[in-house]
């Protein structure tokens, strides 16, 4: 009977560890992609993009400050989402 209790506890601890790990991966993804979207539209890489050079209206739209600002805004939202997720994860750990 006690072996079953220990197995249930170890299974619960393993499940909790996997959940925390997957949330950490999500946080890293949000922050990394957010920072990338925040910085890249204002870098020289953005102007040398071979994907948009062929079509004039796409090139003009990509070079627009409005488009760059919108993409950077999405980056800010992703970074904030990652930070909120991190705060939620840390608050949950303090309660347990």
- pTM score of the predicted model: 0.77
> Residue 75: which H helix or E strand, with range?
helix 65-95
Could you report the per-residue pLDDT of 17-72, keeping only the tens digit for each? 888 899 999 999 999 999 999 999 999 988 888 877 778 888 888 889 999 999 99
Only one residue has tokens 């004039």, namely: 56
How does residue 12 score in pLDDT terms, banded at 50, 70 and 90?
low
Helix (H, G, I), strand (E, B) or coil at 49: coil
The domain in which residue 15 lies consists of: 2-95
Q: How many domains does the chain have?
A: 1
Q: Cα-flanking dihedrals φ and ψ of residue 93, to 5°?
A: -70, -35
Answer yes or no: are the C-beta atoms of 37 and 68 closer than 8 Å. no
């Amino acid at each position: 009977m006690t072996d079953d209790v220990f197995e249930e506890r170890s299974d619960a601890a393993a499940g909790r560890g996997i959940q925390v790990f997957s949330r950490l991966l999500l946080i890293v993804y949000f922050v990394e992609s957010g920072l990338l979207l925040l910085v890249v539209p204002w870098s020289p890489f953005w102007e040398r993009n071979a994907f948009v050079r062929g079509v004039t209206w796409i090139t003009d739209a990509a070079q627009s400050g409005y488009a760059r600002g919108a993409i950077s805004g999405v980056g800010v939202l992703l970074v904030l989402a990652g930070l909120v997720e991190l705060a939620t994860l840390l608050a949950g750990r303090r309660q347990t």
